[in-house]
């Protein structure tokens, strides 16, 4: 059977995207930006989340919404994710060597986590960068929790955060059995926090429920003072969002750190 023209066209397009992405890694076109996380009680610097960007030769800098799905569907996320993890660990170790001490969070796709070699990738990234495992947080989605690599990962001493968590969808009982150290409240939930009846109260019960189990709650995507005030009232301990800072390259984070009057890091 002969392929329909549109199908072969799609395939050609798909394979050219695959080649583009493979070339991007070799040509050093990927880079990481870091978004500060702030302690909502003290305003101190509490950590950073590493986020990938692609400096595309024709299109300029593009974000993961434009290429992450392709990386995942082609399996290229394994090598690109390994690079991102190693780069973030080295950057974290460099900040720590200069006396700053805060956690670095790295996003991990299900495609990475499900592979046997993933735990080795994490161990190698830690060993080669000399980053303390206690200072690395892996952000994963709820569906990744069932992966068998999960417990091997925890035995390395790194922390695990569940990303994009919506307390209006997931029941509080589930938190009871979540084997994670951090819960990150989803940006879309925070966006409607002050307009949705009952949402702040939901956050409040979630925070006290999580606290009893030693889980930290972090809000993402905080954009305005109303959301911030509400999260502070409900005792959410940390947050990130454009109200504090957009993601920046490491050199700009350095500048920000220098300007930070209160800094939560423990000196080494």
Binding site for ligand C2E (CB under 6 A): 35, 51-52, 63-65, 68, 77, 81, 84, 107-109, 139, 163-164, 187, 220-223, 240-242, 247
CB of 164 to ligand C2E, least distance (A): 6
**Residue 77 corresponds to which tokens in the numbers above?**
């996320």
Burial of 20 from C-beta contacts in 10 A (0-12 / 13-18 / 19+): middle
**Residue 137 corresponds to which tokens in the numbers above?**
């947080």
Q: How far apart are CA 139 and CA 159, in angstroms?
A: 9
CB of 210 to ligand C2E, least distance (A): 18
Residues that bind Mg ion (CB under 5 A): 107, 139, 163
- The nearer residue to ligand C2E, 108 or 253, going by C-beta atoms, is 108
- The nearer residue to ligand C2E, 135 or 139, going by C-beta atoms, is 139
CB of 226 to ligand C2E, least distance (A): 13
- The nearer residue to Mg ion, 135 or 163, going by C-beta atoms, is 163
| Long-range CB contacts for residues 148-153, cutoff 8 Å, separation at least 24 | 149/113, 149/114, 149/115, 149/116, 149/118, 149/119, 150/113, 150/179, 151/179, 152/119, 153/113, 153/118, 153/119, 153/122
- The nearer residue to ligand C2E, 34 or 102, going by C-beta atoms, is 34
- The nearer residue to Mg ion, 139 or 234, going by C-beta atoms, is 139
Residue nearest to Mg ion (CB): 139
CB of 139 to Mg ion, least distance (A): 4
CB of 167 to ligand C2E, least distance (A): 16
Q: How many angstroms separate the Cα of 258 from the Cα of each of 56, 95, 241, 252, 253? A: 31, 12, 20, 10, 9
Query: 141 and 162 in contact (C-beta within 8 Å)?
Result: yes
Residue-level length of the chain = 268
51 is in the binding site of which of Mg ion, ligand C2E, none (Cβ under 5 to 8 A by kind)? ligand C2E
92 is in the binding site of which of Mg ion, ligand C2E, none (Cβ under 5 to 8 A by kind)? none
Mark out the alpha helices in 27-109 (DSSP H runs): 68-74, 77-97
Q: How many angstroms separate the Cα of 9 from the Cα of each of 16, 69, 103? A: 11, 19, 45
- The nearer residue to ligand C2E, 95 or 118, going by C-beta atoms, is 118
Q: How far apart are CA 16 and CA 11, in angstroms?
A: 8
CB of 142 to Mg ion, least distance (A): 13
75 is in the binding site of which of ligand C2E, Mg ion, none (Cβ under 5 to 8 A by kind)? none
């Amino acid at each position: 059977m002969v392929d329909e023209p549109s199908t072969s066209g799609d395939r050609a397009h798909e394979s050219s995207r695959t080649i583009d992405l493979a070339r991007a890694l070799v040509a050093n076109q990927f880079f990481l930006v870091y978004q500060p996380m702030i302690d909502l009680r003290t305003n101190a610097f509490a950590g950073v989340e590493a986020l990938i960007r692609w400096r595309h030769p024709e299109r300029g800098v593009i974000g993961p919404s434009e290429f992450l799905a392709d990386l995942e569907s082609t399996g290229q996320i394994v090598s690109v994710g390994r690079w991102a993890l190693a780069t973030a660990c080295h950057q974290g170790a460099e900040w720590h060597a200069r006396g700053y001490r805060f956690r670095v969070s790295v996003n991990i796709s299900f495609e990475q986590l499900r592979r046997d070699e993933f735990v080795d990738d994490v161990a190698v990234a830690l060993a080669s960068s000399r980053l303390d495992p206690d200072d690395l947080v892996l952000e994963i989605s709820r569906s990744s929790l069932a992966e068998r690599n999960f417990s091997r990962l925890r035995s390395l001493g790194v922390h695990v955060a569940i990303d994009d968590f919506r307390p209006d969808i997931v029941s509080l009982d589930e938190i009871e059995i979540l084997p994670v150290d951090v819960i990150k409240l989803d940006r879309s939930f925070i966006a409607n926090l002050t307009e949705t009846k009952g949402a702040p109260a939901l956050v409040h019960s979630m925070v006290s429920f999580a606290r009893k189990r030693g889980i930290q709650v972090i809000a993402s995507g905080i954009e305005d003072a109303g959301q911030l005030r509400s999260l502070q009232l409900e005792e959410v301990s940390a947050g990130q969002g454009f109200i504090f800072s957009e993601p920046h390259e490491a050199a700009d984070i350095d500048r920000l750190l220098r300007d930070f009057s209160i800094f939560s890091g423990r000196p080494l």
